[in-house]
Amino acid sequence: MTSRFPGLGFTPPFKSYSGYLDAKNKNGTSNWKMFYWFIESKSEPEKDPLAIYYAGGPGCSGVGEAFEEMGPFYVNYGGDSLYENVYAWNAKANFLYLDSPIGVGFSYDTENHDFSFATDDQTAEQNYLALFDFFTRVAPEYATRDFYLTGSSYSGVWQPMLADLLVQSIVKGEFPNENFKGFAIGNGYLDVNDLNNALVLWDAYHGKISLSDWEEMKEICYINGVMKLWDLPEAEGIDAYMFYEECWGYQGDTAKEKKTRSKHSAMKKFKKGFEKTRLFYNKPNQDPSVNTAKLLNVDSSDNEFGYPCWQYGSLSNYMNKAEVQTVFQIADDWRVKSGELREWNECSNLINTIDQKYTHNYPTMSPFFDRIFENWKKPLKILIYNGDVDTVCNYLGDQKFVKRLAKEHDFVESDRTRWFFRGLTAGWQQRYAKNQIIIDVLTVKGAGHFVPNDRGGASVQMITAFLNQNPPNYDKTLIDPTPNPIEFDKMDKSSSKKSINQSIFSFIALFIYFYK
């Protein structure tokens, strides 16, 4: 069990564990070590289902994503302390966060510390072997528990591939836990052609390109039903992961533009407090792009105004602290590389870069869904959800993929209806069903690529409903829609005082923004 995290000013109402899973390679050796962080449910951990979470990238840390999106803690400005995420996804589920593939986060190869070779096939194998080890060696008590796969972005590739392997193994009686119940993919990379084709339409109807340009692109670039060649304008200052965010860093070409944008950037004084953001991650000669929208989460009851953009850099500072790595029980041979301390990065510099070494084997996930539908004869729930203002993995492309897949397999299509959070429209939902298999397709209104950042309350209601109901009812509130933050421990006044000071600082920044 992990001890108390440094800078945490309260006692969590759940236990957590961390360590390494053996992802033995084909030679049978254990040189692949996959790091995990296991967080128990805040409700009934001895009964609640297990959700395994994979981040995207490819090459980004699932544990890092937990600290940024749906995990129980967020990192305060500067990376010295933590505060509560009141919309953490472990409300009624146990969560296993994994750093996958090997070479990402705290995962590593014991024989080759520079290991960065990764493919879709190899990653699926590593994920399967790591789960096998979890259910047999690390937590055999969970071998009879219902379990689901979850994740976002490029896990839209890994999840169907892993689910296919699990189905084959369970049918043969080889996997230690036969209670596989389904998987949930957020803003998934399901089909390259569908996403590319749909993005042109999405851009046209969101004012990013003109309709005349759209018509010309269809005439010139549309070959045999697929956009073969296109170069959509990526305007500076636009966040591809959340179209409506205000991004600054690029201030425009003219002095007038620079002055105007700088004047209205409430968080400009924070610019020195962070190094990179997802939008320009590891791209040379680019100023960091930051936004102010994430400072104010209107659906959140926490006092830190959601997840501000500067916390990406703060997370790296926190995770690289020796005392934090001690709590996580990070292996000594990970910490030291060639006689020097290794630096933790949210996304692998070797795998997730412009000239990334990752090999994409499959442009579409159709063959894996086909095999799952053919081989699985038990109830199975699949959730495909998208923030509707994400342009990286847009909702139109993913919904087109599911609709075609459902038609090919004779699924019955239901009407498209709204779903609600706190009595307000949270998005739209549509169900496809055949025999014992259900596919729910959801949009999350106003969310971008990282749904839990933008719509924390709606996201935890959605995932809790998916993991705990059969069939899911996304309008039903299984959790407190306005949770009460945990009080600070009286014995830890230093952390409490620090967090309160940071809260006041954030409030002052917002005040300046709205009244300047």
Query: Which residues have a catalytic role annotated?
Result: 153, 390, 449
Helix and strand numbers (H, E) in the chain are: 14, 22
Give the DSSP H/E element, type plus range, for residue 199. helix 192-205
DSSP category for residue 397:
H
Residue owning tokens 């899973």: 21
Cis status, amide bond into 140, omega within 30 of 0:
no
Q: Which residues lie below 8 Å from residue 157, measured CB to CB, with a gap of 6+? A: 58, 120, 188, 189, 190, 360, 362, 365
Give the DSSP H/E element, type plus range, for residue 465. helix 456-468
Number of residues that this document lists for the chain? 516
Three-state SS at 167: helix
Three-state SS at 194: helix
Phi/psi of residue 112, nearest 5 degrees: -140, 95
Q: Which residues lie below 8 Å from residue 256, measured CB to CB, with a gap of 6+? A: none
Identify each DSSP E strand in 57-105 by its residue range. Answer: 73-75, 82-84, 94-98
Distance CA 71, CA 8 (A): 14
First vs last C-alpha separation in the chain: 48
